[in-house]
């Protein structure tokens, strides 16, 4: 895969299954160089074998998050115009002209249908008056000063948060067949009126919540009389990580809490994704335990909880806290029976689809060498979206005989560049610990220079999904190694918590052991030409590795967590992250701090960072780079304007391409290959836009 081929990475949303179970709709999005943005539309996929080929259903700039009305008459989704926030739209079930339902200043973040299809509830940030364009002509630099009084006041990718809390709104669903045509509200409505068109306005939404907290993940109760949501409304919300599941009636009254009884500290959890059972008896939700402090988040496996909707009994956990991790479940929980839901479990690089009922009985529905990314169920059909070594995103029908793949949105990518095989390996460390990971080899006998990749998190995992970074490096002639050391997710809580207050210890042992074990097994790997690279926590462990070990020809440290003491107060999560991962004892922190060990570094290093990174702030990169230069270590600093911590995943397409090109330029300098030599790389150019195949 070449850097310009990121435009062929078609990602697929969670499926929306029609109530009859005969078809499904997903959004398919991809990077686009011409727009320098992510574009995508909704696609309809028949589930019966004679239903024809997938077809594009909408033609918006970026259409996402489709959801069918329960009666099957309409499809709601989010549409974003270029440079604008997403708004809620609806279209007749079989297609047609979509109708805009909202015109929120900062867009809509999530929504749900009522059981009778007569209304919707949505979540949207509400800006304070005088901020974020609420006063015409008043720019951000002319707004009033912000007074900060707590810990939680900004978030990577969102900026300041306390002045634009997400609130819930209820909206009556319009008749999409009404005459004269229904008109959107707000600015678009005024434009239509100026053009002299006769209009029937969409009903105005009713704001249901007003609290000083974000209200997220709304869902109607089974009878439509209440709305569930997640929020942190308790008195200590600014100084812990606890969140609860609440409900209100459809007028925004009668607030009830369904989680986290305060007289039972062991139940202090971060709760989200409420999902009432179809019969209305049960409320499912996800939660991560936080200990008695409400702060101990390190490597906590996300679990499934259930409680009676009448609050007659406390919530109980249905999954084992040590072995099952449902953190990959996003968007919403999907009910498949009155007493059961499906969830996504991270396990040894895979993401499985599990069915769990109120008794805690578990059935694995989809497993193997893939990562399930979303699920939908209706009318007896269960459908998933997934990625695997050969696709960035596709759709499959879950059957008793296995997964029936119904799309091929990555056909053009595989045609453009053959994808390297993921060779699964487990290496045993000197202390007897098994380290699981993958080796990717370029064509030819070698010996190939080796790039040891270290993932972020640290409670995350490399896995069986298509990973664009590894494929780009293999195409350039590098052997790529990636493993899940102690500290990673997918191998149990004990594995993840092994580096709590011990960062840079067994995790470094594991990645170096995997490197050595792979070199021992594969003669194609060059034992003398090696590089190491990683982002976020991977940047941390890369910086730590080159302060302890000098075998690498060069290193790339991206968006790194490089100095725990300065991270506190500068990072959006700094007020709690460092204390929980590196502890609070000064000498112990120093023993885990890459910046405190920088005098030991001799490895040439490229430091990559984004200007608007609030997770690992730019000062981490600035200080590390200057310290290397002062010590005579060859170093370069690459800063991307307008990007945040998510550059490599969701940065603008041209910046993502440039990042790849600069990374390959660096490796050409220190680890040249026949396909990647100094001055050889094309660093600019136009790429044709290709349609996603869907056969």
On the question of pLDDT at 379 being above 60, the answer is yes
Average confidence score pLDDT of the chain: 93
On the question of pLDDT at 197 being above 70, the answer is no
Average pLDDT (501-521) is: 98
What pLDDT score was predicted for residue 52? 82
Tens of pLDDT along 250-306? 999 999 999 965 445 556 899 999 999 999 999 999 999 999 899 999 999 999 999
**Rounded distance between C-alpha atoms, residue 125 and residue 157, angstroms:** 14
On the question of pLDDT at 690 being above 50, the answer is no
What pLDDT score was predicted for residue 683? 42
Average pLDDT (571-587) is: 96
On the question of pLDDT at 185 being above 70, the answer is no
pLDDT higher for 294 or 680?
294
Average pLDDT (553-569) is: 97
Q: H or E stretch including 625?
A: helix 618-630
Tens of pLDDT along 524-535? 999 999 999 999
What percent of the chain shows pLDDT beyond 90? 88
- Taking every pair of Cα atoms in the chain, the longest distance, rounded to a whole number of angstroms, is 78
**Rounded distance between C-alpha atoms, residue 334 and residue 312, angstroms:** 24
- pLDDT band at residue 186 using 50, 70 and 90 as cut-offs: low
**Rounded distance between C-alpha atoms, residue 626 and residue 198, angstroms:** 64
What pLDDT score was predicted for residue 684? 37
What pLDDT score was predicted for residue 183? 54
What pLDDT score was predicted for residue 681? 57
Range from 190-199, 347-356, 478-487 carrying the lowest mean pLDDT: 190-199
What pLDDT score was predicted for residue 177? 80
Eight-class DSSP state of 202: P
**Rounded distance between C-alpha atoms, residue 501 and residue 511, angstroms:** 18
Instruction: Check if the beta carbon of residue 414 is closer than 8 Å to that of residue 462.
Output: no
Q: Is the peptide bond preceding residue 239 cis, with omega within 30 degrees of 0? A: no
Average pLDDT (149-178) is: 94
Cβ-based neighbours of 343, under 8 Å, separated by 6 or more: 286, 304, 326, 329, 333, 353, 354, 356
On the question of pLDDT at 33 being above 60, the answer is yes
Q: Which residue has the tokens 């990174």?
A: 613
Eight-class DSSP state of 267: G
Tens of pLDDT along 212-233? 999 999 999 999 999 999 999 9
CA of 636: how far to CAs of 307, 322, 609, 639, 653, in Å?
A: 54, 42, 11, 10, 23
Average pLDDT (400-423) is: 96
On the question of pLDDT at 570 being above 50, the answer is yes
What pLDDT score was predicted for residue 95? 81
What pLDDT score was predicted for residue 108? 98
Instruction: Check if the beta carbon of residue 597 is closer than 8 Å to that of residue 567.
Output: no
- pLDDT band at residue 680 using 50, 70 and 90 as cut-offs: confident
On the question of pLDDT at 695 being above 60, the answer is no
pLDDT higher for 139 or 226?
226
What pLDDT score was predicted for residue 179? 61
- pLDDT band at residue 187 using 50, 70 and 90 as cut-offs: low
Range from 66-80, 340-354, 679-693 carrying the lowest mean pLDDT: 679-693
Q: H or E stretch including 134?
A: none
**DSSP SS3 for 125:** strand
**DSSP SS3 for 497:** helix
What pLDDT score was predicted for residue 440? 98
Instruction: Give the residue from 268, 273, 306 showing the smallest Cα distance to 288.
Output: 268
């Amino acid at each position: 895969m070449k850097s310009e081929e990121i435009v062929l990475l078609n990602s697929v949303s969670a499926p929306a299954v029609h109530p009859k179970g005969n078809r499904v709709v997903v959004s398919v999005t991809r990077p686009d160089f011409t727009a320098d943005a992510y574009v995508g539309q909704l696609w309809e996929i028949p589930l019966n074998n004679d239903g024809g080929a997938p077809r594009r259903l909408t033609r918006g700039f970026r259409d996402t998050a489709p959801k069918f009305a329960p009666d099957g008459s309409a499809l709601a989704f989010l549409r974003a115009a270029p440079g604008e926030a997403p708004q809620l739209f609806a279209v007749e079930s079989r297609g047609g002209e979509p109708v805009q339902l909202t015109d929120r200043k900062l867009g809509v973040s999530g929504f749900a249908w009522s059981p009778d299809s007569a209304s919707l509830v949505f979540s949207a940030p509400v800006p304070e008056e005088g901020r974020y364009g609420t006063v015409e002509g008043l720019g951000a630099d002319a707004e009033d000063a912000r007074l900060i009084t707590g810990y939680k006041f900004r978030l990577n990718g969102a900026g300041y948060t306390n002045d634009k809390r997400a609130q819930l709104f209820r909206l009556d669903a319009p008749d999409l067949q009404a005459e004269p045509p229904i008109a959107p509200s707000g600015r678009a409505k005024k434009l239509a009126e100026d053009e002299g068109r006769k209009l029937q306005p969409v009903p105005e939404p009713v704001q249901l919540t007003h609290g000083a907290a974000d209200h997220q993940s709304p869902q109607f109760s089974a009878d439509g009389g209440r709305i569930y949501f997640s929020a942190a409304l308790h008195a200590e919300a600014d100084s812990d990580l606890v969140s609860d599941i609440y409900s209100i009636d459809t007028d925004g009254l009668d607030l009830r809490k369904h989680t986290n009884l305060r007289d039972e500290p062991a139940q202090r959890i971060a709760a989200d994704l409420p999902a009432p059972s179809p019969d209305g008896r049960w409320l499912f939700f996800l939660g991560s335990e936080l200990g008695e402090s409400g702060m101990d988040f390190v490597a906590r496996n996300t679990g499934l909880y259930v409680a009676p909707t009448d609050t007659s009994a406390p919530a109980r956990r249905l999954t084992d806290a040590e072995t099952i991790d449902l953190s990959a479940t996003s968007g919403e929980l999907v009910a498949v029976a009155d007493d059961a839901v499906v969830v996504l479990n991270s396990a040894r690089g895979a993401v499985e689809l599990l069915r769990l009922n109120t008794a805690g009985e578990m059935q694995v529905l989809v497993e193997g060498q893939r990562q399930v990314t979303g699920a939908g169920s209706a009318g007896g059909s269960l459908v998933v979206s997934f990625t695997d070594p050969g696709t960035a995103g596709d759709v499959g029908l879950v059957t008793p005989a296995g997964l029936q793949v119904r799309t091929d949105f990555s056909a053009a990518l595989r045609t453009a560049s053959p994808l390297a095989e993921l060779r699964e390996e487990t290496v045993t460390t000197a202390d007897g610990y098994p380290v699981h990971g993958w080796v990717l080899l370029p064509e030819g006998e070698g010996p190939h220079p080796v790039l040891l990749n270290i993932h972020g998190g640290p409670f995350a995992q490399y896995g069986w999904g298509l990973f664009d970074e590894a494929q780009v490096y293999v195409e350039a002639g590098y052997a790529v190694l990636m493993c899940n050391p102690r500290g990673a997710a997918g191998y149990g809580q004990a594995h993840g918590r092994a580096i709590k207050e011990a960062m840079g210890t067994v995790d470094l042992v594991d990645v170096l052991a995997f490197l050595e074990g792979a070199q021992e097994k594969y003669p194609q790997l060059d034992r003398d030409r090696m590089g190491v690279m990683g982002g976020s926590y991977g940047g941390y462990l890369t910086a730590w590795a080159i302060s302890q070990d000098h075998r690498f020809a060069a290193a790339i440290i991206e968006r790194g967590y490089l100095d725990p003491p300065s991270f506190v107060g500068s990072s959006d999560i700094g007020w709690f992250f460092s204390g929980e991962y590196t502890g609070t004892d000064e000498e112990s922190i120093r023993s885990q701090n890459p910046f405190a060990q920088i005098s030991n570094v001799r490895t040439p290093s490229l430091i990559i960072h984004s200007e608007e990174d609030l997770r690992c702030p730019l000062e981490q990169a600035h200080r590390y780079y200057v310290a290397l230069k002062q010590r005579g270590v060859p170093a370069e600093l690459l800063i991307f304007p307008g990007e945040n911590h998510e550059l490599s995943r969701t940065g603008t397409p041209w910046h993502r391409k440039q990042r790849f090109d600069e990374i390959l330029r660096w490796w050409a300098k220190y680890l040249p290959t026949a396909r990647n030599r100094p001055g050889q790389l094309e660093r600019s150019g136009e790429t044709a836009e290709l349609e996603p195949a869907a056969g």
